[in-house]
Structures are given as structure tokens and as C-alpha cells.
Amino acid sequence: MARSSLPVAGETILLSNIIKAKTSTIKANNPHAVLLQPIREKSGINPEVDEEAPESSPDKKEQMLTDAHEEAEAIIAKAQSEKEQMEKEMEEARASLDETIEAAYKDAKSKGEEKGFQAGKEKGYETYQAIIAEAEDVVTAAHEDYRQYMDGAEPTIIDLAVRLAEKILGEKLEMENHWSQFVRQALREVKDQQEVDIFVHPDRYRETVQQREEWQALLSHTERVRFFPDEDLEKNGCIIETPYGRLVASLDDQLEVLQTELHELLDREREPSTTRD
């Protein structure tokens, strides 16, 4: 079957619900949908053709994406905890400073009484006011420094969390059975199609073809199943073509969506805080 653009319904099937976010916009209908994107023309490759068989068991891909989301959530929660701890320490420092100010006031007043109560009172008040002004400047500067730090740190935390998720999921796909679970989830999207072409990276080709009986079991209504190696694909990528469209199952694409939605969520959460400030 030729690899060409097909202007038919089903051209875009999105992987969503990648994260369990706080807003309804991140919750989509299908947590396992797969991103659609155009691919280049292939030729000169002799595919293996397989026949249909009964359906296979469900996979654990949703758990992998949940793990990635939890890793990102944990890092952001840690940053929030550190923020609260810093605010607590600032409050304690302010309380300690108040005690110091009071002591300084009493000391100035006491010294003033030796030369005249009124003069000492005025001196103590001036000292008190100067210390208060200095304390307010310190607190304001500390608050501004912290806010600037968090503004720069939160996007970095998200990026690190996504990179960590990429490493974890990539390693899981290298483990036994996880690649087949990844492909199985993508094939479920086209299990009612009569013709299915499966494109994988050459490093995954032999492994994928060896499981053709499992794929035939899943594609119970498919009359023709063919396998193609595609060196332009990422190692953990998989393209599935049917007469009605093509699906691109890509770990990198899924993580890119996760990263984008986490940044959007962070931006939305900052808006009320900015208004209050």
C-alpha cells in the first residue's frame, strides 16, 4: 500500500489525558490516543504479510504515563514545600528582628533617662524607626529575590521532570514486553481496518515481526498486515497506515505534549498570584 496523504476522517487521532492536571482542559476523552503527522514516501521494501487472528490482552502503557506525571508532580511539590519553608523562616526572622528592635528601643530609652527622659525617648523612637525601615527593606528584597528565583525555577523543574519521564519510559520500552505493549496500544486504534501497514525502526523490526501472531490476534478484522523497517523513525516510534489514515505513535511526541500542558498549567496558576501582588 502506497504511503500517501489521505484526506479521510481519522487523519488526526491525538494522544491526550497524558497528565491528570488541575483543569478540565487537560482531561481528554482518550488517554491512549496517538498523534497524527505526515510521513515521507517509502519504496523498495518487501514487507512481510500476515493474516488475522483473535484479540490480545490489554497493556500497561497508561501506568507508564501515570508514572511520568507523578514524577513531574513530585518535583513541583518539592519546590512548593521549599517555598513554604523559606516563607516560614522569613517570618521567624521577622519575629526575632522585632525582639531585637524592642530591646534596642528599651536600651536607648534607658540611656536617655540618664541625660533626660524626653531626649532618651526621642532617641529611642528614632532608632526604632530606623531599624524598622531597614527590616522592611530586607524582607522586601528577600521576597523579590525568592519570587524571581521561583519564576525561573518552575519552568526548569517541569523540563527536568519531563526529561526524567523520558528516561524512565525509554528504559521501560527497552525492557521485556513493554515494546509490544506500546505497539499493541497503537494497533487497537486501527483494529477494524481491512489493511494495516506497520512501520518501525530497523532495530525494532525483527522484534516486531516475531510477534506477528499477536498482532494478527488483535487485528481480527484485518485481511492484510505488513511490516516495514523505517530508519527515519526514532527507535521507540511506530507508524501505522490504513486506507483511511495514518497514526504516529511516538514517545517523544507524547512527552512534548506533556511538557507543553505542564507549562500552560503553570502559567494559569501564576495569573491569580500576579493579580494579588
Task: Give burial (CB, 10 Å; 0-12/13-18/19+) of 236.
Answer: buried
pTM of the model: 0.37
| 31 lies in some domain | no
Q: How confident is the model at residue 229, as a pLDDT?
A: 93
Residue range(s) defining the domain that contains residue 82: 48-276
81: cell is 514545600
Alpha-carbon gap, residue 179 to 202, rounded angstroms: 14
Number of domains in the chain: 1
Residues of the chain with pLDDT under 70: 1-65, 67-69, 72, 108-125, 128, 139, 142-178, 250-255, 257-259, 263, 266, 269-277
Q: How confident is the model at residue 54, as a pLDDT?
A: 40
Alpha-carbon gap, residue 79 to 144, rounded angstroms: 17
| 23 lies in some domain | no
| 36 lies in some domain | no
Alpha-carbon gap, residue 13 to 189, rounded angstroms: 9
Q: How confident is the model at residue 214, as a pLDDT?
A: 85
| 11 lies in some domain | no
End-to-end CA distance of the chain: 60
| 208 lies in some domain | yes
CB 81 within 8 Å of CB 171: no
| 115 lies in some domain | yes
> Three-state secondary structure along the chain?
CCCCCCCCCCCCCCCCCCCCCCCCCCCCCCCCCCCCCCCCCCCCCCCEEECCCCCCCCCCHHHHHHHHHHHHHHHHHHHHHHHHHHHHHHHHHHHHHHHHHHHHHHHHHHHHHHHCHHHHHHHHHHHHHHHHHHHHHHHHHHHHHHHHHHHHHHHHHHHHHHHHHHHHHHHHHHCCCHHHHHHHHHHHCCCCCCEEEEEECHHHHHHHHCCHHHHHHHCCCCCEEEEEECCCCCCCEEEEEECCEEEEEEHHHHHHHHHHHHHHHHHHHHHHHHHHC
Q: How confident is the model at residue 197, as a pLDDT?
A: 92
CB 246 within 8 Å of CB 6: yes
Alpha-carbon gap, residue 104 to 127, rounded angstroms: 8
222: cell is 484485518
pLDDT tens for 243-270 read 888 887 766 666 676 667 776 776 776 6
| 41 lies in some domain | no
Q: How do 237-242 and 245-250 pair as beta strands?
A: antiparallel
| 117 lies in some domain | yes
Q: How confident is the model at residue 95, as a pLDDT?
A: 79
